[in-house]
Structure 1
Amino acid sequence: MTTHHSAQTLSIEGADAVAFAHAQFSSDVTALAVGQWQFSAWLDAQGRVRALFHLARLADDSLLLLLRGGVAADMADALRRFVFRSKVTLRALEPRTLGTGPVLAMHTVLHDEATLTLGCDTHSLIVGAANDNHWRLAQLRAGWPWLPAEVLNELLPPALSLLRLHAVALDKGCYPGQEIVARLHYRGGNKRHLHCVVLSQEALAGTALRRDEREIARLLDVVKIDDSFEALAVIADESVNAQSSKNFQITSDGMHLQLRESWPA
């Protein structure tokens, strides 16, 4: 698989940019310093993830989102319905290339007119640089989801391990889906979690794996390594708990998944 992810970016600018983003997104945007980025998400009223993204603060009144799946123009159109009287401008930028840069401290942001660089510890992501896939395996193994179109508006934050990534805050004011996030955290009820797996055969991101007509796993990003395929997968807890080993058949057509790593909510 040689699919390249494009850089879908969205700018939020204006005197109320941070306040607007803090009210809409699940992370603590007010804690984000200029020159830093954080994971964040936009949820619907039922707590499902509409968008997952890197949220970078370029200036006091300027934010930039790099979407991890989805279309920036669609998200900008949807967000505009909530602007009301806020002094904020939303603008979907033209899709750009997305490539791998050198080691840069986690959460660091560097930018100029041509490029945006996000520090990811062992590497960096560069928007507007040469297009390549080298960053994808490191981020897949770190459990950083990239959401195919098939799962947008479908998964709850715990299924994507967003609390671990600090993409959801439990101690901030109300935002869309906040009550669901709090209830799942304090009372439980989430029944799917994120895993890194090795696939026995090629499959596409977004593929639903079923047993007896029941969906028990959904593949997110899939990366080819030599002759094998690794993926992030959201798997039903009951399917994982029922296995006696980390290598198990999960579909009726012979697909096997070998678990490399699993993450909590």
Structure 2
Amino acid sequence: MPTDLTAQTLLLEGTDAIAFAQAQFTSDVQSLDVGRWQFGAWLDAQGRVLALFQLARITDDALLLLLRGGDASSMAQSLQRFVFRSKVKLRVPEPCALATGPAHETYAVHREGDAYVFGCGGHSMIVGATEADDAWRLPQVRAGWPWLPNDALGNLLPPALSLERLQAVAFDKGCYPGQEIVARLHYRGGHKRHMHCVVLSQPIRGGTVLHHKGNSNIQLLDVAGDDATFEALAVIDDGLVDSLQNASNIDTDENIALRVVQSWTA
């Protein structure tokens, strides 16, 4: 989760920017209109999520990625290896303040001065705000919009993050890194870890791994809340959930109780 409330972004610019993103990322970038955003991910060859982001088409030939975890400079350096002769430039703006704005249509994006406003339904995210805040975090936890801690990068497959539900994965476009694994999991199933929204008995840092009977079954992602309630997105092994008599309550070895309030299977 973004502990310092700064937004890390990555710009892809040039006549081949859309085609380049289409070949690298999981979403159908070519279907994205100017002034709209979509969820997307960049995977390794084994299908594990290296980066999760909100991808906005800001002009015909430019994309802005708002990273939901990870380091923009490292991602740009890794992507640069695949540019070859493509007419695309990768640029990493300085990190900027991330704040909550008024309600705007989900998936709409527009520019206000030097800031970009990502519509999220009942609220918006202002990338480049004058003052940061995290009021956007709790409604996004409840909606199942994950933010990946560093510990989770490169360790989770798309079904564990409900990326199909977020329309972050396209199954009818050309190849991209990890595409074969994604397609196999989609058509054959078999993945044994999924994401849940949980209420915690006490505050705990996002990214913490919790244990049940000695096994590391629970990966916390982002945590949000106030003085009374602490909610989080957590990736939990299906076997643990299935083994409980009351699947909505989990007691961990760390003496932290979790109450499952929402689950997503894909």
**So what's the TM-score if we normalise by structure 1?**
0.97
The size of the alignment, in residue pairs, is 265
1:64-99 per-residue CA deviation (whole Å, 9 max, x = no partner) reads 000000111111111001100100000111000000
Give 1:72-111 correspondences, 5 Å limit: 72-111=72-111
Measure, in 2, the Cα distance between the counterparts of 1:5 and 1:246.
34
Question: Which stretch of the first structure deviates more once superposed, 220-229 or 141-150?
Answer: 220-229
Q: 1:88 to 1:113 in 2, by over 3 A?
A: farther
Superposition pairs of residues 20-39 of structure 1, within 5 angstroms: 20-39=20-39
- Where do 5+ consecutive residues of structure 1 fail to align? none
Shift of 1:4: 4.0
1:264 partner amino acid: T
Counting only pairs closer than 5 Å after superposition, residues 10-29 of structure 1 correspond to structure 2 as 10-29=10-29
Q: Alpha-carbon deviation of 1:246? A: 4.3
Which residue matches 2:176? 175
Amino acid across the alignment from 1:255: I
Contact 1:247–1:256, Cα closer than 8 Å, also in 2: no
Which residue of structure 1 lines up, in the alignment, with residue 134 of structure 2? 133
CA deviation map 1:115-172 (0-9, x unaligned): 0000001111001112001000000000000000000000000000000000011111
Cα distance in 2, alignment partners of residues 258 and 212 from structure 1: 17
Distance 1:103 1:224 in 2: 20
CA distance in 2, matches of 1:118, 1:42: 20
Amino acid paired to 2:39: F
Quick check: 2:211–2:254 contact (8 Å CA) kept in 1? no
Partner amino acid, structure 1, of 2:8: Q
* Letter matched to residue 259 of structure 2: Q
RMSD: 1.4
- Contact kept in structure 2, 1:207 and 1:218, CA below 8 Å: yes
Q: Which amino acid aligns with 1:193?
A: H
Matched, 1:253 2:254: yes
Cα contact 1:210–1:216 (8 A) shared by 2: yes
Structure 1 residue 213 and structure 2 residue 219: aligned?
Answer: no
Give the letter aligned to residue 40 of structure 1: G
Q: In percent, how many aligned pairs have the same letter?
A: 59
Map of 1:188 onto structure 2: 189
Gaps of 5+ in 2: none
Please tell me the residue identity of whatever aligns with 1:121.
G
Show the 5 A alignment for 1:197-236: 197-236=198-237
Q: Which shows bigger deviation, 234-243 or 220-229?
A: 220-229
Deviation string 1:169-227 (CA, Å, 9 cap, x unpaired) is 11111000000000001111210000000111221111111134321010000113222
Say if 1:4 and 1:132, in contact at 8 Å, map to a contact too.
Answer: no
Deviation at 1:247, TM superposition (A): 4.3
Matched residue type, 2:128: G
Taking the aligned partners of 1:238 and 1:246, their CA distance within structure 2 comes to 11
Is 1:153 the counterpart of 2:154 in the alignment?
Answer: yes
* SS across alignment from 2:174: coil
Secondary structure of 1:162's counterpart equals coil
Given residue 221 of structure 2, which amino acid in structure 1 is its aligned partner? Answer: L
Inter-CA distance 85–2: structure 2 relative to 1 (3 Å threshold): closer
* Matched AA of 2:210: L
SS at match of 1:97: strand
Equivalent residues of 1:4, 1:133 under 8 A apart: no
Give distance in 1, aligned partners of 2:264 and 2:86. Answer: 38
